[in-house]
Structure formats: structure tokens, C-alpha cells
Amino acid sequence: AEVEEILKRIQAHRGVIATMVINAEGIPVRTTLDNSTTVQYTGLLHQLTMKARSTVRDIDPQNDLTFLRIRSKKHEIMIIPGNTSIKITIELYVL
């Protein structure tokens, strides 16, 4: 229930297009997008996050990835990695 609340709150923010929660194996647990898009995002972003995390850790083993932002022309994708799950938010910003 709390989970729902939090996710709903995030989704309600201005500019947020979609939210996704992905578990450690890369399976989308909760998503607000349609299936095919979700699968696409999951596959791509999960790997990217893993790579980013391992990069940070390689450079400094004490360090860890807290937040990953991908800004593109049209959108911004925000990823927060957790131990068991990763949360992804897709936002739109206007230049």
C-alpha cells in the first residue's frame, strides 16, 4: 500500500511521463507503460545501470552508484539503483 502511494505520488509530479520498477533479474515488476515499451526500456536500462555501477565500483571500491540520469533531446530518464530493485522514471523537459 505504501508502495502504491509513493509510486502514485511520483507519477503525479509535473513532467513525469512514466515510472517503472525493475527487480534484480531485470523483470519489470511495476510499470505505467505498455508492455512492449517496458520490455524495451528494461532490457536496455538494466544493462546500462549494471555497467555504470560496476564502473563506479571499479574506480573506487568504496563508492557506489546512487543516481543515474540520462538526458536526451526529448526526455530525461532517471534511474536509482537499489540492492534488489531499480526504479526508473521518465520525465519530459522543455528546452
Partner 1 sequence: MEIVYVYTRKRSEFGRPCSFSDRPAKVNVDIPPDPSMAGNFVLRNPVDSYVQHTSDMSEHEVNTERVEVESRGVNHVEGGWPKDINPQEVEQTIRFRKKVEKDENYVNTIVHLGTLMEHCVKQNNAINIYEEYFGEEETVEVEDEPPSAKTINVISKLTSFFDVLLSKRDPNVTKRTATHLSWHPDTCKKLAVAYSSLEFQQNMKDMSFDSYIWDLENPNKPELVLKPSSPLVSLEYNPKDSHVLVGGCYNGQMAYWDTRKGGLPVEVSTVEVSHRDPVYGAIWLQSKTGTECFSASTDGQVLWWDIRKLSEPTESLVLDITRKGLLENALGAVTLEFEPTMPTKFMVGTEQGIVIACNRKAKTPPEKITSTYSGHIGPVYALARNPFYPKIFLTVGDWTARIWSEETKESSIMWTKYHLSYLTDGCWSTVRPAVFFTTRSDGTLDVWDFLFKQNDPSLSLKVCNEPLASLRLQDNGCVVGCGSKLGTVTLLEISSALCTLQRNEKTLATAMFERETKREKILESRHREMRLKERARSEGQETVVEERLVENPEEVLSRTRREFFEVIEAELQRRTRAETQCLHGKVPGTARTRDRGRDSPPWGGGQGSASAFQVKDRAGDEAAVQGEESQLPKEEEEEEKDVA
Q: Which residue number, 26 or 52, has a Cβ lying nearer to partner 1?
A: 26
Nearest approach in angstroms of CB 6 to partner 1 is: 4
- Strand, helix or coil for residue 23: strand
- Strand, helix or coil for residue 13: coil
Q: Residues interacting with partner 1, by CB under 8 A?
A: 2-3, 6-7, 9-10, 13-16, 21, 23, 25-27, 29-30, 39, 42-43, 66-67, 69, 71, 76, 78, 80, 82-85, 87, 89, 91, 93, 95
Half-sphere CA count of 26, side-chain side, radius 13 A: 12
The Cα–Cα gap between 82 and 4 comes to: 18
Nearest approach in angstroms of CB 91 to partner 1 is: 6
Nearest approach in angstroms of CB 73 to partner 1 is: 11
